[in-house]
Structure 1
Amino acid sequence: MITALYFDGRTALARPVELRLHDGRLRVSGEGVALDLDAQRLDWPEHQRHGPRVLVLPDDIGGQIHCADGGAWDHWLADQGHRHGRLGVVRMQQSWRATLMAVALMLLLVGLMFTHGLPLIAHVVLGMVPTSLDQRVGEEVFEHMEAHWLSPSQVPVQQQERLREQLRSAMARVNHGDHGRDHGEADAPAWELRFRRSRDKMPGANALALPGGVIVVTDELVALLHDREDVLLGVLAHEMGHVRQRHGMRMLVQGSLLAIATGLLFNDAGSVVGLLSSAPLLLGQMAYSRDMERDADEHAIAVLQANRIEPMVLAVLFERLQAGQATTPDGVPEDVPHDWGIGFSSHPPTKERIERLKAASHP
Structure 2
Amino acid sequence: MSAVTEACNTPGRRPDSVQGCYYDGKRSRRHPARLLVHGGCVRVCNEQGGLLDSMDSVRELRISPRLGNTPRAVYFPGGGHFETPDNDGLDRLMGGGGLVHWLESRYLFVSVSVVLTALLVWWFVVQGVPALARMAAFSLPDTVLQKLGREAHALLDEQWLQPSALSTQEQQRVRHAFAPVLENFRQQGYVLQVHFRGSEDMGANAFALPSGDIVFTDDMVRLAENDDELLAILLHEIGHVTSRHGLRQVIQMSSLMVVITLVTGDVSSLSSMAVSIPIMLMQLGYSRNFEREADALALREMLADNIDPLNFVTIMQRLQQQKACGGKKSATECGRGLPDFLSTHPQTEARLKPFLSAAGN
Under a length normalisation based on structure 2, what TM-score does the superposition of the two structures give?
0.70
For the pair 1:309 / 2:307, whether they are aligned, the reply is yes
Compare 8-17 and 206-215 and name the one that shifted more: 8-17
Aligned counterpart, 1:38: 57
Q: Summarize the alignment of residues 263-278 of structure 1 with structure 2, pairs less than 5 Å apart.
A: none
1:41 CA drift (Å): 4.2
Aligned counterpart, 2:250: 252
- Aligned pair partner of 1:113 in 124, 138, 142: 124
For the pair 1:8 / 2:24, whether they are aligned, the reply is yes
Find the residue that maps to 2:105 and give its secondary structure: helix
How much is the aligned-residue C-alpha RMSD, in angstroms?
3.7
For the pair 1:319 / 2:317, whether they are aligned, the reply is yes
Distance in 2 (CA, whole Å) between partners of 1:356 and 1:44 is 66
1:203 CA drift (Å): 0.9
CA 1:194–1:66: 2 relative to 1, 3 Å: closer
CA 1:122–1:27: 2 relative to 1, 3 Å: same
Find the residue that maps to 1:289 and give its secondary structure: helix
Aligned counterpart, 1:84: 97
1:115 CA drift (Å): 3.5
CA 1:15–1:158: 2 relative to 1, 3 Å: closer
CA 1:252–1:19: 2 relative to 1, 3 Å: closer
- Aligned pair partner of 1:62 in 79, 84, 106: 79
Distance in 2 (CA, whole Å) between partners of 1:135 and 1:297 is 24
C-alpha contact (below 8 Å) 1:150/1:198 kept by paired residues: yes
Aligned counterpart, 1:339: none
1:299 CA drift (Å): 1.4
Letter in 2 for 1:35: S
- Higher RCO (CA < 8 A, seq sep 6+): 1
Distance in 1 (CA, whole Å) between partners of 2:220 and 2:131 is 34
Distance in 1 (CA, whole Å) between partners of 2:59 and 2:220 is 76
Find the residue that maps to 1:33 and give its secondary structure: strand
C-alpha contact (below 8 Å) 1:167/1:237 kept by paired residues: no
After superposition, the C-alpha distances for 1:282-316 in whole angstroms (9 at most, x for unaligned) are: xxxx9972232222111111221122223233221
Q: Summarize the alignment of residues 217-256 of structure 1 with structure 2, pairs less than 5 Å apart.
A: 217-225=216-224, 227-255=225-253
After superposition, the C-alpha distances for 1:39-93 in whole angstroms (9 at most, x for unaligned) are: 3444445556656x442313x232122335x3xx525744x5932222313425x
CA 1:245–1:62: 2 relative to 1, 3 Å: same
Between structures 1 and 2, the one with greater helix share: 2
1:235 CA drift (Å): 0.8
1:208 CA drift (Å): 0.9
Find the residue that maps to 1:195 and give its secondary structure: strand
C-alpha contact (below 8 Å) 1:312/1:354 kept by paired residues: no
Q: Summarize the alignment of residues 1-363 of structure 1 with structure 2, pairs less than 5 Å apart.
A: 1=14, 2=17, 3-22=19-38, 24-29=40-45, 30-33=49-52, 35-46=54-65, 53-58=71-76, 60-67=77-84, 70=86, 74-75=88-89, 77-78=91-92, 82-86=95-99, 87-91=101-105, 102=113, 105-170=116-181, 175=184, 185-199=186-200, 202-225=201-224, 227-255=225-253, 289-324=287-322, 346-362=344-360
Letter in 2 for 1:56: V
Letter in 1 for 2:246: G
Aligned counterpart, 1:330: none
1:12 CA drift (Å): 3.8
1:217 CA drift (Å): 0.6
C-alpha contact (below 8 Å) 1:134/1:212 kept by paired residues: yes
Count of equivalent residues: 307
Find the residue that maps to 1:5 and give its secondary structure: strand
Letter in 1 for 2:145: D
Compare 19-28 and 213-222 and name the one that shifted more: 19-28
C-alpha contact (below 8 Å) 2:44/2:51 kept by paired residues: no
1:130 CA drift (Å): 2.6
Distance in 2 (CA, whole Å) between partners of 1:81 and 1:133 is 59
After superposition, the C-alpha distances for 1:75-123 in whole angstroms (9 at most, x for unaligned) are: 5744x5932222313425xx6x866765555454444334433333333
Structure 1, unpaired ranges of 5+: 176-183, 272-285, 326-332, 334-344
1:189 CA drift (Å): 1.4
Aligned counterpart, 2:281: none
1:206 CA drift (Å): 0.5
Under a length normalisation based on structure 1, what TM-score does the superposition of the two structures give?
0.70
Over the matched positions of the two proteins, sequence identity in percent amounts to: 30
Find the residue that maps to 2:98 and give its secondary structure: coil
CA 1:250–1:358: 2 relative to 1, 3 Å: same
Distance in 1 (CA, whole Å) between partners of 2:91 and 2:140 is 61
C-alpha contact (below 8 Å) 2:43/2:55 kept by paired residues: yes
Letter in 2 for 1:19: L
CA 1:12–1:31: 2 relative to 1, 3 Å: farther
Aligned counterpart, 1:275: none
After superposition, the C-alpha distances for 1:200-225 in whole angstroms (9 at most, x for unaligned) are: xx111111111212111111112221
